[in-house]
A = this chain, B = another copy of it.
């Protein structure tokens, strides 16, 4: 049983919390919006507790369940409070006006940007960016466990994240070093473009990317 911290109080914060609680991990939700955070913690029930931005970080794994652009600020605000922690960036730096480009320069990724601004003693990992809240909360799609692609430069950090992912009923896939997040983020430009397209009836904001068999 692990203690995890989730920074954020939106749909992805909820979905990750539900999966972690399903694995009997305890969950700390740290949200800037006090009312939303309280509501989320109450709806999650036993095993969840809440706090405001800047509260003591209790989890060994810290999920940044915030939109792209806020992740960098979040690691700056928490600073050395994240030293020794595993930080999980789930964001997709996709230009939502047009879904035609990424908001990070070629040859880098959102998570590498976050790693450059995080405590040098934190271990930054990319994971969950291909998961959307609804299927993630359910934990499975088409009767199969969701795939969670994990990129990172710390093997130990990836082992930790893989363990909580597997315990929560999902399939962890270690895709290699942190720079592989470039491909994970690129793919989501394409997937989110499909979801946003009025021509694509089959793809709404609830798809899952799976590697079969």
Are B190 and A175 in contact (CB-based, < 8 A)?
yes
Task: Report chain B residues within 8 Å CB of A190.
Answer: 149, 175-176, 180, 183-184, 187
Q: Which of A174, A182, A184, A212 is most buried by chain B, counting CB atoms within 10 A of its CB?
A: A212
Q: Report the minimum CB–CB distance from A103 to chain B (whole Å).
A: 14
Total interface residues in chain A, CB < 8 Å: 34
With A107-B106, A175-B190, A187-B183 in contact, is A142–B144 under 8 Å at CB?
A: yes
Point out the residue from B144, B187, B194, B213 that lies within 8 Å of A186, measured CB to CB.
B187
Does more than half of chain A's interface fall in helix, strand or loop, or is it mixed?
Answer: mixed
Are A191 and B211 in contact (CB-based, < 8 A)?
yes
Hey, what's the 0/1 contact readout for A157-196 against B, CB within 8 Å counting as 1?
0000000000000000111100010111011011101100
Hey, what's the 0/1 contact readout for A20-41 against B, CB within 8 Å counting as 1?
0000000000000000000000
Q: Which of A43-51, A53-61, A83-91, A202-210 binds B?
A: A202-210
Q: Report the minimum CB–CB distance from A49 to chain B (whole Å).
A: 33
Task: Report chain B residues within 8 Å CB of A194.
Answer: 173, 175, 211
Enumerate chain A interface residues (CB-CB to B < 8 A). 106-107, 135, 141-142, 144, 149, 173-176, 180, 182-184, 186-187, 189-191, 193-194, 197, 199-200, 203, 206-213
* The 7 residue pairs across chains A and B that have the minimum distance between CB atoms: A106-B106, A183-B190, A187-B187, A186-B186, A183-B186, A141-B212, A208-B212
Provide a sorted-by-A list of 30 A–B residue pairs whose CB atoms are within 8 angstroms: A106-B107, A135-B212, A141-B213, A142-B144, A142-B212, A144-B212, A149-B190, A173-B194, A174-B199, A175-B190, A175-B193, A175-B194, A176-B190, A183-B186, A183-B187, A183-B189, A183-B190, A186-B186, A186-B187, A187-B190, A194-B211, A203-B211, A207-B212, A207-B213, A208-B211, A209-B209, A209-B212, A210-B210, A210-B211, A210-B212
